[in-house]
C-alpha cells in the first residue's frame, strides 16, 4: 500500500498560483539587479560528486547532504550550495577566461537540516560570485550589489558586517584543539553565552580568552570599534579591525544609516570565509535572508587559486515575506471564455489566438453545452463568453 504518494518529503513544499507569481517576481528583481552590475548567469548541475562538497572546504556537515551513488558506485550529492559548484566551473570551463569573473545564479539547493528548525530542505537561492579580484573596491562592489538587490524586495532589511579574520586571530592565541575551536565558534555564532563561558572557563585566563568571551557581545554601531580595539591581541587583529571599520563607513554612505550593524560574533563557517563577511535580516523572518563574504582560499581546492567574494539570497524567504505583506494575490480569472458550437472547434481556437494577440487573457471551453460553459464562467468570475459558430457572438455574464 502506497503511504506517501499524496505528500511531499519533509522540508519541501508545492507552490500554487500567487506563490509562483511572487517567486518569479522576486527572482526577476534580484537577477535584474545582478545583470545591471555586469554579472552573467550560470547554471550548475543538480547532482555533483561528493568531492566537490568536501566538508573541510565547504563547511557543510556530511549529514546535511543528500547522498546517492551513480552506476559506478561513486558517491554523489544533490547540490547543497551554489558557490562550490561554481568554483568547480571556474576552475574547469572558465579557467582561461578574462578575470575578474562576474557570475550570478538562481537555482535550488538541497540540505537535510536536522529537525528543520523552520528551514526548508529544498531552498530556492539566488546570488553572485565575483572571482579573480581582491581589495576594498571589490568588497564594496559586492556589498553595493547586495543592497541594490535586496532594496526592491525587502527595503526594511538590516545589514550586519563582520570579519572572519578577527575570530581566527583570537583563536590562534588559544591552546585549543580543532574540535574545541569549532565548539567555541558554534557558541559564538549562536550567541550562547553560557556554553561559551563553560568552554572558556576551562582555559588559562589570558587576554585572548577575555577577548573571545566578549566577541558575541561586540554588536552595534560605531562604538564597537573602540570596544574591540581593547581586545586585539596582535597587530594582525588590529589591521583586521581597521579594514572592517573602513568598509563600515563606506557602506553607510549608501544611505543605510543605522541599518548597518557591526557584529564581530558573525563567525559562521569560519574556515570557508577568510575575510569580510556579512548577512542581512528583515522583519517578518527569523533567519537571515542573505549571507555572504570573501573566501580567498576556496579556488585553490580546485587547483585554480584566486581571490573571490560573493553572497546568496534566500529567495523562498523573500517570497514568503512578499506574500505575507499582501503584495501578490491569486491570479485574476480569464477575461474571455471562448465556447465552440459543434463543428467549429478550429474556428474557436483561431478566435482565441486572435484575442490573445490583442492582449486579452482567454480560455477555450471544453464544455459540451453552452449552459455548462456559462456555469463554468460564472463560477470562476469570467465576465465574457464568446460563442463561436457560423458567426461569433459575445455574451456578457
Residue 225's Cα: distance from chain center in Å? 29
pLDDT of residue 258: 80
Collapse the DSSP code of 70 into the 3-class scheme (helix H, G, I; strand E, B; otherwise coil) and give the result: coil
> What's the whole-model pTM score?
0.89
In angstroms, the CA 298 to CA 15 distance is 35
List CB contacts of 14: < 8 A, sequence separation 6 or more: 8
pLDDT higher than threshold 80 for residue 1: no
Tell whether 83 is in a known binding site: yes
pLDDT of residue 231: 81
In angstroms, the CA 316 to CA 19 distance is 10
Assigned C-alpha cell, 186: 558554534
Q: What is the mean pLDDT of residues 168-186?
A: 86
* Better pLDDT: 231 or 163: 163
Q: What angle do CA 85, 87, 93 make, to 5 degrees?
A: 90
Residue 283's Cα: distance from chain center in Å? 17
Assigned C-alpha cell, 26: 522576486
pLDDT band at 252 (very low <50, low <70, confident <90, very high): confident
pLDDT band at 259 (very low <50, low <70, confident <90, very high): confident
* Better pLDDT: 79 or 329: 79
Q: What is the mean pLDDT of residues 186-200?
A: 86
pLDDT higher than threshold 60 for residue 213: yes
List CB contacts of 217: < 8 A, sequence separation 6 or more: 265
Tell whether 111 is in a known binding site: yes
pLDDT higher than threshold 60 for residue 199: yes
- Residue 319's closest CA among 285, 279, 270, 362? 285
Burial status of residue 192 (CB atoms within 10 A of its CB: 0-12, 13-18, 19 or more): middle
In angstroms, the CA 332 to CA 361 distance is 10
> What pLDDT digit, counting tens, does each position of 320-365 carry?
998 888 888 788 899 999 999 999 999 999 999 999 999 999 999 9
Q: Which residue has the cell 554579472?
A: 39
pLDDT band at 118 (very low <50, low <70, confident <90, very high): low
- Residue 395 DSSP code: E
pLDDT of residue 23: 93
> What pLDDT digit, counting tens, does each position of 263-275 carry?
988 887 656 789 9
Q: Which residue has the cell 504518494?
A: 5
User: SS3 letters for 363-387?
Assistant: EECCCCCHHHHHHHHHHHCCCEEEE
Tell whether 129 is in a known binding site: yes
> What pLDDT digit, counting tens, does each position of 167-176 carry?
888 888 888 8
Tell whether 384 is in a known binding site: no
In angstroms, the CA 182 to CA 3 distance is 41
List CB contacts of 55: < 8 A, sequence separation 6 or more: 61, 62
H or E stretch covering 39:
none
Q: Which residue has the cell 582560499?
A: 297
- Residue 3 DSSP code: S
- Residue 313's closest CA among 166, 159, 189? 159
Q: What is the mean pLDDT of residues 141-147?
A: 95
Tell whether 180 is in a known binding site: no
pLDDT band at 215 (very low <50, low <70, confident <90, very high): confident
> What pLDDT digit, counting tens, does each position of 3-24 carry?
888 888 888 888 899 999 999 9
pLDDT band at 214 (very low <50, low <70, confident <90, very high): confident
Work out the angle between the directed axes of helices 178-189 and 164-172 (0-180°, nearest 10). Answer: 140
- Say how many Å lie between the first and final Cα of the chain, rounded: 47
pLDDT of residue 270: 53
Burial status of residue 81 (CB atoms within 10 A of its CB: 0-12, 13-18, 19 or more): buried
Enumerate domains of the chain plus CATH numbers: 18-324 (3.30.930.10), 336-396 (3.40.50.800)
Tell whether 370 is in a known binding site: no
% the chain with pLDDT above 70: 98
Q: What is the mean pLDDT of residues 214-220?
A: 88
Amino acid at each position: 500500500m502506497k503511504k506517501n504518494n499524496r505528500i511531499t518529503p519533509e522540508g519541501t513544499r508545492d507552490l500554487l498560483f500567487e506563490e509562483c507569481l511572487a517567486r518569479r517576481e522576486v527572482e526577476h528583481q534580484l537577477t535584474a539587479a545582478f545583470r545591471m552590475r555586469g554579472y552573467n548567469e550560470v547554471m550548475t548541475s543538480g547532482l555533483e560528486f561528493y568531492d566537490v562538497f568536501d566538508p573541510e572546504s565547504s563547511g557543510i556537515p556530511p549529514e546535511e547532504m543528500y547522498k546517492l551513488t551513480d552506476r559506478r558506485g561513486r558517491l554523489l550529492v544533490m547540490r547543497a550550495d551554489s558557490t562550490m559548484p561554481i568554483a568547480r566551473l571556474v576552475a574547469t570551463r572558465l579557467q582561461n577566461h578574462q578575470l575578474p569573473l562576474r557570475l550570478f545564479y538562481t537555482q535550488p539547493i538541497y540540505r537535510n537540516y536536522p529537525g528543520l528548525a523552520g528551514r526548508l530542505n529544498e531552498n530556492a537561492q539566488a546570488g553572485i560570485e565575483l572571482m579573480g579580484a581582491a581589495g576594498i573596491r571589490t568588497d564594496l562592489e559586492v556589498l553595493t550589489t547586495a543592497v541594490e538587490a535586496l532594496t526592491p524586495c525587502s527595503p526594511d532589511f538590516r545589514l550586519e558586517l563582520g570579519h572572519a579574520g578577527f575570530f581566527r586571530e583570537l583563536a590562534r592565541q588559544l591552546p585549543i584543539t580543532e574540535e574545541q575551536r569549532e565548539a567555541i565558534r558554534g557558541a559564538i555564532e549562536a550567541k550562547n553565552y553560557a556554553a561559551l563561558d563553560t568552554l572558556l572557563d576551562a582555559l588559562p585566563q589570558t587576554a585572548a580568552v577575555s577577548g573571545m568571551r566578549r566577541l558575541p557581545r561586540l554588536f552595534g554601531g560605531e562604538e564597537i570599534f573602540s570596544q574591540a580595539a581593547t581586545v586585539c591581541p596582535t597587530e594582525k587583529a588590529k589591521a583586521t579591525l581597521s579594514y572592517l571599520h573602513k568598509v563600515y563607513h563606506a557602506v553607510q554612505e549608501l544611505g543605510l544609516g543605522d541599518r548597518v550593524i557591526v557584529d564581530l560574533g558573525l563567525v559562521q563557517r569560519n574556515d570557508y570565509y577568510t575575510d569580510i563577511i556579512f548577512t542581512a535580516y528583515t522583519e517578518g523572518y527569523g533567519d537571515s535572508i542573505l549571507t555572504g563574504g570573501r573566501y580567498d582560499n576556496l579556488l585553490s581546492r580546485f587547483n585554480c587559486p584566486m581571490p573571490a567574494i560573493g553572497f546568496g539570497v534566500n529567495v523562498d524567504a523573500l517570497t514568503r515575506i512578499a506574500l505575507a505583506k499582501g503584495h501578490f494575490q491569486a491570479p485574476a480569472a480569464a477575461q474571455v471564455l471562448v465556447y465552440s458550437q459543434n463543428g467549429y472547434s478550429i474556428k474557436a481556437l483561431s478566435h482565441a489566438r486572435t484575442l490573445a494577440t490583442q492582449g486579452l487573457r482567454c480560455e477555450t471551453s471544453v464544455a459540451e453545452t453552452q449552459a455548462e460553459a456559462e456555469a463554468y464562467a460564472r463560477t470562476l468570475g469570467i465576465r465574457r463568453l464568446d460563442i463561436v459558430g457560423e458567426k461569433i457572438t459575445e455574451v456578457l455574464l
